[in-house]
């Protein structure tokens, strides 16, 4: 296990299914968004990825047993409140593992939305996972 701040110790999942120190050999494991969270969820006993579907208000949820996948198909967790600005957008949906409740059954998810010129707000959502 390497130190995350030492780039020489990084490895990337490569197309041949192995971990590789050549960071240019990366493999896409799923398409999501540039800002997302991925963390282990003890309630589901899986990794959980949370992100905003690009150019929409849909907050998406995926799971996997391992970081390299296979990842589940995306499921819309909920619709974020749309921007109140005609020039705005909704972005950066992430889960906060530090605020989980009930062993990960209840999640706190935040996202940002434009509220006007040069202004935005961060919204907090309590999301409860049903039995799968």
Q: Domain ranges in the chain? A: 1-30, 31-128
Q: In DSSP terms, which residues pair with 76 in a beta bridge?
A: 60
pTM of the model: 0.84
Tell me the C-alpha distance between 86 and 112, whole Å.
Answer: 15
Enter the tokens of residue 63: 């799971």
**Residue 95 Rama label (left phi>0; alpha psi -120 to 50; beta):** beta
| Res 80: pLDDT | 92
Say whether pLDDT at 40 is over 80: yes
| Rg, C-alpha atoms of the chain | 17
pLDDT in tens, 44-95: 999 999 999 988 899 999 999 998 899 999 999 999 988 876 666 788 999 9
- Say if CB 64 and CB 47 are below 8 A apart: yes
| Res 119: pLDDT | 84
């Amino acid at each position: 296990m390497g130190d995350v701040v030492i780039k020489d110790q990084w490895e990337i999942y490569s197309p041949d299914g192995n971990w590789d120190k050549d960071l240019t050999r990366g493999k896409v494991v799923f398409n999501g968004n540039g800002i997302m969270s991925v963390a282990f969820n003890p309630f589901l006993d899986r990794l959980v990825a949370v992100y905003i579907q690009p150019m929409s208000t849909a907050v998406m949820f995926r799971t996997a047993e391992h970081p390299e996948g296979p990842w589940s198909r995306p499921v819309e967790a909920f619709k974020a409140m749309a921007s109140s600005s005609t020039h705005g957008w909704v972005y950066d949906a992430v889960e906060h593992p530090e605020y989980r409740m009930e062993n990960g059954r209840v999640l706190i998810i935040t996202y940002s939305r434009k509220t006007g010129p040069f202004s935005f707000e961060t919204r907090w959502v309590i999301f409860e996972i049903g039995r799968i």
